[in-house]
């Protein structure tokens, strides 16, 4: 699995970080987009976890998404979650909600709805993608996945290796 790591403060103004001249450090692109993903995750309606995604090309935001029910349908925070269980080939059990669409898929759907090409773009996600989202990210032509928190990375290692998609951890602090 091709994995890298980048760290940095996501919100320099609240961290008090300054450069050698005493001026406040400018926010880097990776930290900026990861903070945007964290802000977007605050719209999530899933009661089990809030995930945000930002699709970017050439330092421009193309599309965003968060996890929740399809537009116009009841959200998990309005009704009970409908959980189903699936078993991976290694025997581990995964639980998912029937109502929820993951942030990455919602970001892809938003781009498609508005006719925005995301081929050769990158994605910033507050958590690494599940195996199902990774398969879709491969098919739409995402080149690099930047994530903050790891989520079952062992399940996606082989697909990452075969696809050539880069997986890079960006530690967001104080977003």
Is 104 known to be catalytic? Answer: yes
- Cα atoms in the Cβ-side hemisphere of radius 13 Å centred on 115: 0
- The verdict on whether residue 175 carries a ligand-binding annotation is no
Q: Which residues contact 148 (CB under 8 A, 6 or more apart)?
A: 34, 37, 38, 125, 126, 127, 169, 170, 171, 172
- The verdict on whether residue 10 carries a ligand-binding annotation is no
- The verdict on whether residue 132 carries a ligand-binding annotation is no
d(CA 81, CA 2): 35
d(CA 152, CA 132): 12
- Given 24, 95, 104, 158, the catalytic residue: 104
- Residue ranges for the known binding site for Zn(2+) are 102, 130, 133
- Residue ranges for the known binding site are 102, 130, 133
**Catalytic site positions:** 104
């Amino acid at each position: 699995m091709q994995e890298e790591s980048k760290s940095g403060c996501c919100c320099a103004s609240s961290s008090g970080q300054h450069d050698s001249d005493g001026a406040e450090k400018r926010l880097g692109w990776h930290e900026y987009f990861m903070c945007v993903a964290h802000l977007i995750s605050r719209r999530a309606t899933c009661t089990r976890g809030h995930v945000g995604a930002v699709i970017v090309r050439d330092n421009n935001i193309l599309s965003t998404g968060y996890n929740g029910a399809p537009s116009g349908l009841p959200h998990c925070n309005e009704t009970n979650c409908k959980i189903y269980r699936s078993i991976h080939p290694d025997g581990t059990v995964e639980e998912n909600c029937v109502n929820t669409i993951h942030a990455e898929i919602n970001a892809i759907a938003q781009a498609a709805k508005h006719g925005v090409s995301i081929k050769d773009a990158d994605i910033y996600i507050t958590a690494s993608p599940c195996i199902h989202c990774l398969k879709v990210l491969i098919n739409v032509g995402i080149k690099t996945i930047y994530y903050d928190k790891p989520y079952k990375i062992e399940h996606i290692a082989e697909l990452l290796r075969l696809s050539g998609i880069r997986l890079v951890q960006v530690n967001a602090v104080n977003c």
